[in-house]
Amino acid sequence: MNVCIIGAGYVGLVTGACFADLGHRVICADNDRKKIEALKKSRIPFYEKGLDDMVRRNIKAGRLSFVPTIKEGVKDSLVIFICVGTPSKPNGEADLSYVENVAAEIARNLTSYHLIVEKSTVPVETGKWVEHTIRTNIRKKVRFDVASNPEFLREGTAIRDFMRPDRIVIGVETKRAEDILRELYDKVNAEIVVTDIKSAELIKHASNSFLAAKISFINSVANVCERTGADITKVAHGMGLDARIGKSFLQSGIGYGGSCFPKDVDAFMYISGKLGYDFGILKAARKVNEEQRAIFVKKIEEALWIVKGKTIGILGLSFKPQTDDMRSAP
């Protein structure tokens, strides 16, 4: 199947390389010409285990290519994935200007049926606005579908997460769109959850927000353990053996970070507030996360007495192992 990935950043590049490795013909489009020229030479602008070899292999096989314009990608594809950034505004709202601009540019270049898929993490009801933008800017009377297929990639294990996911979520409004996405993922052995577009959009925000809240909860438990002499590792282990809770995300520390959790929690709270609902649990989770760093600094002050003039070693600067991503690193 011919696929166009718009946005050759982390999500776009991993998605494109993995689809190519599954046998599809993939074109990655990005308006950063320096990045495109580097990618043509298999120079990856960030570290992700196994990605260099995968990109190099699929370029050599002729299944993966890079272009600097959306027009070049659209004309030779059936499926178009929107993988551009959705950064946070100061009030927590997701900035969807990149998504809107891409949707408009796609519309201006449509000459035949295409399936346009949201891959970027976007607020609920974005699909409606993507469709509206395309209809407003389309120049020819051609049919198209919009769908949502949120990514659940973890930095450091992104290729494994794509090839062996817990689930594949697709939000569609037509049988044609569903059939195309099912065929696209045919070689991936995972349950496909088919729902409407709004539900698919919410699944991503709700999932990341829940995991962030789980991290803040176990950090709160750890703070109680320190005050009582209890062992947080034993407590977390005992909790994790309960199938209703699970072992993942029960490692206490100085809080969550990275490019996803902080942004997605803020965006979900903003969406909820706009709809008239005060998401108190997420507010508390964010507050705990912010306090964890201050608690850690206090421990250093207590251990060193006078911090000024002391040499402090830091082992690891990224927000998690196996990545070089410093965004919102605690």
Residue ranges covered by each domain of the chain: 2-195, 203-304
What's the topology of domain 203-304?
Answer: N-(1-d-carboxylethyl)-l-norvaline Dehydrogenase; domain 2 (1.10.1040)
Q: Is 111 within 8 Å of 142 (Cβ atoms)?
A: yes
Pairing of strands 79-82, 64-67: unpaired
Predicted TM-score (pTM) above 0.75: yes
Cα 192 versus chain centre, distance? 18
pLDDT of residue 316: 73
pLDDT of residue 263: 87
pLDDT of residue 53: 95
Q: Is 12 within 8 Å of 30 (Cβ atoms)?
A: yes
- Joined together, the tokens standing for residue 197 give 């577009």
- Rounded (5°) CA angle 5-10-15: 45
Superfamily covering domain 2-195: NAD(P)-binding Rossmann-like Domain (3.40.50.720)
- Joined together, the tokens standing for residue 104 give 């408009």
Beta strands in the chain (DSSP E): 2-6, 25-29, 64-67, 79-82, 114-118, 144-148, 168-171, 192-195
pLDDT of residue 320: 59
The 10 Å CB-count burial string (b at 16+, else e) for 285-317 is bbebbeebeeeeeeeeeeeeeeeeeeeeeeeee
pLDDT of residue 312: 83
pLDDT (tens place) for every residue of the chain, 330 residues total: 999 999 999 999 999 999 999 999 999 999 999 999 999 999 998 888 999 999 999 999 999 999 999 999 998 899 999 999 998 888 988 899 999 999 999 999 999 999 999 999 999 999 999 999 999 999 888 999 999 999 999 888 999 999 999 999 999 999 999 999 999 999 999 999 999 999 999 999 999 999 999 999 999 999 999 999 999 999 999 999 999 999 999 999 888 887 678 889 999 999 999 999 999 999 999 999 999 888 888 888 888 888 888 888 887 766 656 666 565 566
Residues serving a catalytic function are 260
- Joined together, the tokens standing for residue 258 give 């990275």
Q: Is 47 within 8 Å of 324 (Cβ atoms)?
A: yes
Closest to 223 in 3D by CA, of 281, 294, 279: 294
